[in-house]
Chain A
Amino acid sequence: MTNKEYSNLVKKHTPKVNHIKSMSLAFFVGGFIGLAGQFLIDFYVKILNVSISNASTYMIVTLIFISSLFTALGFFDKIIEKVRCGIIIPITGFAHAMTSAALEYRKEGFVLGLGSNIFKLTGSVILYGVISAYIFGLIRLFVIGA
Chain B
Amino acid sequence: MTIKYDNVYVEGTSTVAGIMESEGPISKYFDKTYDDYYMGEKSFEQGEIKMICDSVNILLKKCNLAKEDIDLFISGDLINQITPSSYAANKLQINYLGVYGACSTSVLSIAVASSFLQNKNINRCICNVSANNSAAERQYRNPTEYGTPKPDTSTFTATGSASILLSNNKSNLKIESVTIGKVMDYGVKDVYNMGAAMAPSASYTINKHLKDLKRSIDYYDLVLTGDLGKYGKEILKDLLYEEHKIKLKNYEDCGCLLYDLNKQDVKAGASGPTSSALVTYSYIFDEMKKGKYKRILLVATGALMSPVMMNQKLTIPSISHAVSVEVL
Q: Which residues of A contact B (CB under 8 A)?
A: 1, 3, 6-7, 9-10, 12-15, 17, 22, 71-72, 74, 76-81, 84-85, 88, 96-97, 99-101, 103-105, 107, 120-121
Contacts and interface: CB of A to CB of B under 8 A. Distances in A.
B127 to A, nearest CB: 30
B144 A104 contact: yes
Given A13-B234, A81-B147, 4 more contacts: A15-B152, A80-B148, A84-B149, A100-B145
B188 A10 contact: yes
7 contacts: A1-B242, A9-B239, A15-B152, A22-B149, A100-B142, A105-B143, A121-B142
Contacts, number: 86
Contacts of B234: 13
Contacts of A107: 42-43
Contact of B187 (A3, A72, A78, A96): A3
Sorting the interface of chain B by its residue count into under 10, 10 to 19, 20 to 34 or 35 or more gives 20 to 34
A32 B147 CA distance: 19
Chain A contact residues: helix, strand, loop or mixed: helix
B143 A103 contact: yes
A80 B147 CA distance: 6
**Interface-centre pick from A1, A13, A17, A77 (highest chain B CB count, 10 A):** A13
B193 interface: yes
Contact of B143 (A6, A7, A85, A101): A101
B153 A104 contact: no
A84 to B, nearest CB: 4
B138 interface: yes
A14 B146 contact: no
Contacts of B143: 100-101, 103-105, 120-121
Interface string B235-275: 10011001100000000000000000000010000000000
A6 B186 contact: yes
Contacts of B152: 15, 17
Contact of A14 (B43, B142, B150, B231): B231
Given A6-B186, A80-B148, A15 B142 contact: no
Contacts of A76: 145, 147
A3 B144 CA distance: 34
Given A1-B243, A81-B265, A104-B138, A10 B145 contact: no
Contacts of B147: 76-81, 88, 96, 100
Contacts of B151: 17
Contacts of B43: 107
Interface string B152-172: 110000000000000000000
Contacts of B146: 77, 96-97, 100-101, 104, 121
A37 B221 CA distance: 61
Nearest to B188: A10
Chain B contact residues: helix, strand, loop or mixed: loop
A91 to B, nearest CB: 15
A107 B147 CA distance: 20
A6 B149 contact: no
B196 interface: yes
**Interface-centre pick from B147, B188, B196, B234 (highest chain A CB count, 10 A):** B147
A100 B187 contact: no
B186 A3 contact: yes
A99 B42 CA distance: 19
Interface in B175-193: 186-188, 193
Interface in B131-148: 138, 142-148
B145 A74 contact: yes
Contact of B238 (A13, A15, A17, A120): A13
**Interface-centre pick from B146, B151, B242 (highest chain A CB count, 10 A):** B146
B81 to A, nearest CB: 16
A14 B196 contact: yes
A1 B234 CA distance: 16
B145 A104 contact: yes
A7 B187 CA distance: 8
B200 interface: yes
Top 8 closest pairs, chain A to chain B, by CB:
A77-B147, A80-B147, A104-B143, A3-B187, A100-B146, A100-B145, A100-B143, A6-B186
A74 B153 CA distance: 24
A52 B235 CA distance: 58
Contacts of A121: 142-143, 146
